[in-house]
Amino acid sequence: MKSSIALSFCLLFGLAQSHPSFGQQDASSKAKQAVLAELTSKLDTKSAKAGDAITAKTIADIKMNDGSTLPKGSKLSGKVTQVESKAAGNGTASVSVLFDRLMTKDGQSKPIQGVLVAIAPRPSVSDQIASSGSLPQASTRGVASTAVATGAGLNANEERGENSSMPSGSSVKGVQLDTKLAADGSAVLHSQKDIHLESGMKIEVGLM
């Protein structure tokens, strides 16, 4: 009887190890489709709260796995699921975000489960010139305010609308992006300082 119980326990333990919980999934490996976008909203862990909206727009036409094309400028919307400032987090700030809706420019909308798998600083003016060969149109911000940190502009594949990808994780100085999803399926950013996400930061969202 004891041996049977022990065998059953071993089998259950093996199943648990081979089928990790949702919160243990690796976002980049589980994603079925990568969508390159840029943030169109701001977030600061000093003032953000759970439920706050987060938005982004695609930066190129993207060919989807089903053969359709997602137009450039399509909107991704989501929310902050958890947030903790540096002061509240005993010296560590964190924020969890999840994208849950995709809207095209012609008004079509559908629910999604979009997970942040990569984030990079907003491109500086010099990066944009190197990418496009000219100054950004209708730019009223000075170099000092635009050059938040070094970051790459669109590459040739992205300009042509071909699928590309970013290095997984965070290239924002001092900010780490967890490779594992939180229990609610959201992606978690950590930092030893309060986290400031700015409009224009480049992101990759994995559609699960």
Whether residue 71 is contained in a domain is answered as yes
pLDDT in tens, 150-162: 233 444 444 444 4
Say how far apart CA 197 and CA 208 lie, in whole Å. Answer: 23
Whether residue 5 is contained in a domain is answered as no
Whether residue 3 is contained in a domain is answered as no
At 107, list the tokens. Answer: 């008004």
Could you tell me the residue range of the domain that residue 111 belongs to?
A: 25-207
E-strand stretches of 25-92? 33-39, 43-44, 53-58, 62-63, 69-70, 75-84
Q: Return the pLDDT at 22.
A: 43
Domain count, the chain: 1
pLDDT in tens, 66-115: 888 889 999 999 999 999 999 998 899 999 999 999 998 888 899 999 99
Whether residue 178 is contained in a domain is answered as yes
Whether residue 184 is contained in a domain is answered as yes
The CATH number of residue 94's host domain is 2.40.128
pLDDT in tens, 168-196: 899 999 999 998 899 999 999 999 999 99
pLDDT at 144 over 80: no
Whether residue 109 is contained in a domain is answered as yes
At 27 the three-state DSSP class reads helix
Whether residue 137 is contained in a domain is answered as yes
